[in-house]
Chain A
Amino acid sequence: MRIRLRERPRWRALPAGMRDQSAAEVANRRRLEGRLLALFARWGYVEVATPTLEFYETFLRGAGPGIGDRLLKLVDNGGEVLAMRLEMTVPLARLAATRLLPAGRVPVRLSYVAPVFRGQERGSGRQREFIQAGVELIGAAGPRADAEVIALAAEALKVAGVAGAVIGVGHTGFLRGVMSTLPEAAVDVTRDLLYRKAFADLDATALPGQARELLRVLPTLRGAGALGRAAGLVTNGEGRAALEALGRILEAVEVHAPEVQVEVDLGLIRDFDYYSGVVFEAHGPHSGLPLLGGGRYDDLLAGFGHPAPATGFALGVERILEVAAEADGCAAPIVVAYAGDCYSKAVAVAARLREAGMPTVVDPVGNAPAAEEALCIAVVAGRGLRVLCGSREEEATGETVVEAVRAVMAARP
């Protein structure tokens, strides 16, 4: 007898970081996506779509070689290395630089809602497929363009029903300025420390005193007065210019009078290398992870052959749903039950209910209790309510059915 390894029933499970969504989850997600896309459209952003798969090389070109490890890669039949998109900024930069900008349309305002993918997550329960919604404003420079995107991010949080969020705004030029004052030998070590957010290790480095002090307090340079404190610590031109730019951007954001708190956060370090100016992140009260993030990436499009300034943000749809005010899920349909010989009348009644916008199903076997004298019965599921619609003798008009169901639903929500 041969002994075989027992098959591991993978078909029961899903790959790590992938999940199914229930009807209620999908309904809530679709509603949020619809509200966000409508908001983006009101601000003049048009929705576009790009393919899920692109060449691996495209992502490296956009986000730098460090991104390679985070991509979900595959090899197609022709031996080409493809990758599933990690985020939407790089695909949209490619789209804009190769198709839209050469056609002469500037600035371009794009929006999207799309699933994005990760090759691996570090064992921390994060999803490898999730949905991002966002905008990119391409071909516009200056503080008012940045303010538009930040104000729109604030508006998105409001539309999504997130209470108590804070948007922190920093600037990559501030750190670049600090780095420019460092002796050559210290630059790589310091960049590595900052990338790992290992501020505690700064003490052990051979940094000049002033730079070390500035980097040490970096995570606390937030909120009111942070710009002033930072200005007192910074000694180089690039750092000063960044602080001034940040001040102008926040002034312009103020004009929009956002209902979400927006504050300076100079310690903000975003994961992507392409950011070149203002960067921002929103944090909500009940999640340890940022709800949305974005910033300016003026050098990214040049990599795709058409230099242009650009700025944008992406928000995590599922993360927002976790913290947003309780949504409705999906309504159970009305069930039309009927006596055995009244099928055609039940179908007609259901048609009228559907026309009136009410989700309705016709019971396939009738199911009207024998004792009922009604022609058919619309049952509002989950509420224990039944609406009797006409009788065997008299013809039920569609209108009376719709009115009756509406009245019942309104009476007991």
Chain B
Amino acid sequence: MKALALAVPTGRLRDGAERLLRTVGLLPDGLAADRRLLVETSGGARILSVKPADVLTYVEQGAADAGIVGRDMILEQARDVYELLDLGFGGCRAVVALPAARAAGLWQPGRVVRIATQYPRLTARYFEAAGRPVEVVVVSGTVELAPLVGLADGVVDLVVTGRTLRDNHLVEVAEIARSTARLVVNRSSLSRSPRVADLVERVRAHLAEGEPSVRV
């Protein structure tokens, strides 16, 4: 039988993903510290290490049968995958934040704000639904820098503790979405591969019995 191909994100969600996979027996030895991008585990899986923004691409196209990805990416990319389980870890919120000193003036209905973000579609959708005009500036990291140097009025970014916002003198004015890590699967794989159904069941069982997961 074909090994189960699983896309695991680098970065923020990696540790949580590794813990989960170890618990359900897919990754008995843990992920090695080396830089191999494709690892065959003794638990019968192929682990693909991919950028968080690429997990959904691998799964949608069937290069991976399943993947672990933040809900923020799912909302941003709107890909054709089945989002089956809330894994509970990696909790964060997507918020609109503006410079503390100017927030009240900027956050007037009808006033155009320039927003720097890695989530252009999520941002555009939120502002459209809220009936607020917006100009979106797409950046690929260190988003909080943009308002400090006049590139944008504010940001839409993920917040865990709020520390980055505070350190850069930004205050949250609206919450756009809540996110946790999710298990997504390719529809075709779910139909055909017993291994994928088995993975889903094992993770589901683990979530049901395991310690109450941390929710935000």
> Within 8 Å CB of A290, what residues of B?
187-188
| B79, CB-defined interface residue at 8 Å | yes
Contacts of B86 in A (CB 8 A): 200-201, 203
Q: Which residues of A contact B61 (CB under 8 A)?
A: 124-125, 288-289
A residues 252-283 with Cβ under 8 Å of B? 265, 267, 281, 283
Whether A196 lies near B78 (C-beta < 8 A) is yes
B57 close to A124 (CB less than 8 A): yes
Q: Across the interface, do A199 and B191 meet the contact criterion of CB distance under 8 Å?
A: no
Shortest Cβ gap from B206 to chain A (Å): 15
Q: Measured between alpha carbons, how far is A289 from B80 in the docked complex, in Å?
A: 9
Name the distance in Å between A54's Cβ and chain B's nearest Cβ: 26
In the complex the two chains form, is B60's CB within 8 Å of A288's CB?
yes
Are A220 and B62 within 8 A (Cβ)? Answer: no
| Best-surrounded residue of A122, A200, A290 (most CB of chain B within 10 A) | A200
For A198, the chain B residues whose CB sits under 8 A away are: 74, 83
Contact pattern, B 186-216, Cβ under 8 Å of A = 1, otherwise 0: 1111111000010011000000000000000
State the CA gap A285–B65 with chains docked (Å). 12
Q: Does B182 contact A (CB under 8 A)?
A: yes
Q: Give every chain A residue within 8 A of B71 (Cβ-Cβ).
A: 200-201
- Across-interface contacts of B85 in A (CB, < 8 A): 199-200
A166 to B192, CA, bound (A): 7
Residues of A within 8 A of B185 (CB): 219
Q: Which of A199, A265, A289 is in CB contact (< 8 Å) with B84? A: A199
- With a cutoff of 8 Å between Cβ atoms, the chain A residues found around residue B21 in the complex are none
In the complex, chain A residues whose CB is within 8 Å of the CB of B201: 220
Interface flag for B171 (CB, 8 Å): no
A287: chain B residues at CB < 8 Å are: 62, 188
The answer, yes or no, to whether A316 is at the interface (CB within 8 Å) is no
Most chain A beta carbons < 10 A, residue from B60, B82, B187: B187
CA distance A288 to B2 in the complex (A): 14
Residues of B within 8 A of A265 (CB): 191
**Across-interface contacts of B183 in A (CB, < 8 A):** 200
Task: Judge if B63 is at the interface, Cβ distance under 8 Å.
Answer: yes
For A284, the chain B residues whose CB sits under 8 A away are: 188
- B99 shortest CB reach to chain A, Å: 32
**Is residue A173 within 8 Å, beta carbon to beta carbon, of the partner chain?**
no
B81 at the interface (CB under 8 A from A): yes
Closest to A164 in B: B192
Residue ID in chain B nearest A168 by CB atoms = B191
- Contacting residue for A197 out of B57, B62, B83, B192, CB 8 A: B83
Q: Are A288 and B200 in contact (CB under 8 A)?
A: no
A197 touches B190 (CB 8 A): no
User: What residues on A are CB-neighbors of B190 within 8 Å?
Assistant: 219, 222, 267
- Sorted nearest first, the 3 A-B pairs with minimum C-beta distance are A288-B62, A283-B188, A200-B86
A-B contact pairs, 29 of them (CB 8 A): A122-B77, A122-B79, A124-B57, A124-B60, A166-B191, A168-B191, A196-B78, A196-B83, A197-B81, A197-B82, A198-B74, A198-B83, A199-B82, A199-B84, A200-B83, A201-B83, A201-B86, A203-B86, A219-B82, A220-B197, A220-B200, A220-B201, A265-B191, A267-B190, A284-B188, A288-B59, A288-B61, A288-B189, A289-B61
Mark B residues whose CB is within 8 Å of A. 57, 59-63, 71, 74, 77-86, 182-183, 185-192, 197, 200-201
